[in-house]
């Protein structure tokens, strides 16, 4: 039988998931076995966030992140770095900075240190995550500490990441921009402007935290992804999960979930995207475990959604 990895590799696509320290839990060997067998790329779910790496200014702690990178590298898996600049994962000391200059230096130092530390082992980075607000008009978030650094802090972040590793692939990553809507218009305008200013951006990550009522067709997702591709940018689905309705894991709900996964992967393939990453491994370890949103159930059995992904990868 094919695995996700064998079927995706045949299509030139990376497939994977976010992983936690469960990777090293000897009492839960199925977790690591599933990742090694099925995935070709991993993301540390929380281990590479600013809070985790630099909880104290200029004191870097790479323990979990290094362990994940070593584990993946030894098994031939790629690593997506997530995420250099995200307001939600900024430690308290970042929020306490007072001047634009202090904020710029802090961002620059964080990016330079982290990207340099991982070097060639992490060639893909979510440089800036969720900078666009959900409020009308979708301006850049006012509630981000990084706003203090000046409106060009996103451009600067990409330039600093590029300077630290000129061969790395650099992404802007966000949620709610999968279909054609006001938010994706704002993300589109943002990255189009970056390209016009010569900012080194490789692509856009579409998180794709959706539920089983999501319609790829109805949201115009394929058209949306294609307009980013038409700018010359890469596209990845970076944090996919599809929650079930409150009525739970009924056969009909699991089939609907499988159909959404199938449609998402088909849309991604149709625009020649480069990766599909689920936000976790098995349902029990998901940040939205109640919605049973992933491809493997609590016991690591393949769900109908797994078949949906394989089907899309095989063009069925
Ligand atoms: O590990 C500590 C534990 O020691 C402590 O006792 C406990 C008390 O709160 O917290 C634990 O850390 C939590 C961590 O998840 C691990 O479970 C943090 O509080 C919690 O904030 C953290 O949530 C993560 C969240 O990002 C915020 O960083 C989720 O696991 C993670 O799935 C989620 O992922 C984000 C992406 O990075 C960006 N896009 C949205 C996505 C979902 O929110």
Nearest residue (by CA) to ligand 1, atom 24, is 46
Whole-angstrom distance, CA of residue 216 vs CA of residue 264: 7
Q: Is the CB of 54 under 6 A from ligand 1?
A: no
| Those residues with Cβ within 8 angstroms of residue 71's Cβ, 6 or more apart along the chain or in another chain | 23, 24, 32
Does residue 226's CB lie within 6 angstroms of at least one atom of ligand 1? no
Most distant CA pair in the chain, distance: 58
**Other Cβ atoms within 10 Å of 26 Cβ, number:** 6
What does the pLDDT read at residue 316?
A: 83
According to the model, what pLDDT value does residue 182 have? 98
Which protein residue's CA is at the shortest distance from atom 32 of ligand 1?
287
Catalytic residue among 38, 130, 178, 255: 130
pLDDT of residue 256: 98
The CA distance from 244 to 148, in Å, is: 39
Q: Compute the distance between CA of residue 70 and CA of residue 62 in angstroms, rounded to an integer.
A: 12
147-170 as b/e: b if 16+ CB within 10 A:
bbbeeebbbbbbbbbbebbeebbb
What's the 82 CA to ligand 1 centre distance in angstroms? 13
- Residue 89 Cα to ligand 1 midpoint, Å, equals 9
Q: Give the atom of ligand 1 at the shortest distance from the alpha carbon of 51.
A: 28
Whole-model pTM: value is 0.98
- pLDDT at residue 202 in the model: 99
Is residue 54 part of the annotated active site? The answer reads: no
Distance 46 CA to ligand 1 centre (A): 6
Task: Give the separation between CA 294 and CA 57, rounded to whole angstroms.
Answer: 36
Query: Which domains does the chain show, CATH number per domain?
Result: 4-313 (3.20.20.80)
Contact 207 CB / ligand 1 (< 6 Å): yes
Q: Which of 38, 45, 178, 239 is catalytic?
A: 239
Among 17, 20, 22, 45, the mutation site with the greatest number of ligand 1 atoms within 8 A of its Cβ is 45
Regarding the beta carbon of 144 and ligand 1, being less than 6 Å apart is answered no
Mind listing the pLDDT tens digit of every residue in the chain (316 residues)? 999 999 999 999 999 999 999 999 999 999 999 999 999 999 999 999 999 999 999 999 999 999 999 999 999 999 999 999 999 999 999 999 999 999 999 999 999 999 999 999 999 999 999 999 999 999 999 999 999 999 999 999 999 999 999 999 999 999 999 999 999 999 999 999 999 999 999 999 999 999 999 999 999 999 999 999 999 999 999 999 999 999 999 999 999 999 999 999 999 999 999 999 999 999 999 999 999 999 999 999 999 999 999 999 999 8
Q: Is the CB of 34 under 6 A from ligand 1?
A: no
Q: What is the pLDDT of residue 86?
A: 98
Query: Is the distance from CB of 309 to CB of 265 less than 8 angstroms?
Result: yes
Q: Please state the atom number of ligand 1 nearest to the C-alpha of residue 89.
A: 28
217 is catalytic: no
Cβ atoms of 48 and 114 within 8 Å: the answer is yes
This complex has an ipTM of 0.94
The confidence score (pLDDT) of residue 94 equals 98
């Amino acid at each position: 039988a094919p695995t996700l990895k064998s079927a995706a590799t045949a299509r030139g696509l990376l497939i994977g998931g976010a992983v936690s320290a469960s990777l090293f839990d000897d009492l839960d060997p199925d977790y690591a076995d599933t990742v090694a067998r099925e995935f070709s790329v991993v993301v540390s779910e929380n281990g590479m966030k600013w809070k985790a790496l630099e909880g104290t200014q200029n004191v870097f702690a790479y323990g979990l992140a290094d362990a994940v990178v070593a584990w993946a590298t030894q098994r031939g898996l790629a690593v997506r770095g997530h995420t250099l600049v995200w307001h939600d994962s900024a430690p308290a000391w970042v929020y306490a900075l007072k001047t634009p200059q202090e904020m710029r230096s802090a961002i620059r130092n964080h990016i330079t240190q982290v990207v340099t530390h991982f070097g060639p082992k992490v060639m893909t980075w979510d440089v800036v995550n969720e900078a666009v607000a959900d409020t009308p008009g979708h301006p850049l978030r006012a509630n981000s500490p990084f706003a203090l650094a000046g409106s060009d802090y996103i451009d600067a972040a990409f330039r600093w990441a590029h300077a630290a590793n000129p061969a790395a692939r650099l992404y802007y990553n966000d949620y709610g921009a999968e279909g054609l809507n006001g938010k994706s218009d704002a993300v589109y305008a943002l990255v189009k402007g970056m390209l016009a200013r010569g900012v080194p951006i490789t692509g856009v990550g579409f998180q794709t935290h959706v539920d089983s009522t999501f319609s790829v067709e109805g949201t115009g997702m394929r058209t949306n992804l294609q307009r980013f591709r038409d700018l010359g940018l890469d596209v990845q689905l970076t944090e996919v999960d599809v929650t079930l309705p409150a009525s739970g894991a009924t056969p009909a709900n699991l089939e609907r979930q499988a159909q959404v996964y199938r449609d998402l992967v088909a849309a991604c393939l149709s625009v020649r995207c480069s990766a599909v990453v689920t936000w976790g491994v098995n349902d029990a370890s998901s940040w939205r475990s109640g919605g049973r949103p992933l491809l493997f159930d609590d016991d690591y059995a393949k769900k109908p959604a797994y078949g949906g992904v394989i089907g899309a990868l095989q063009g069925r």
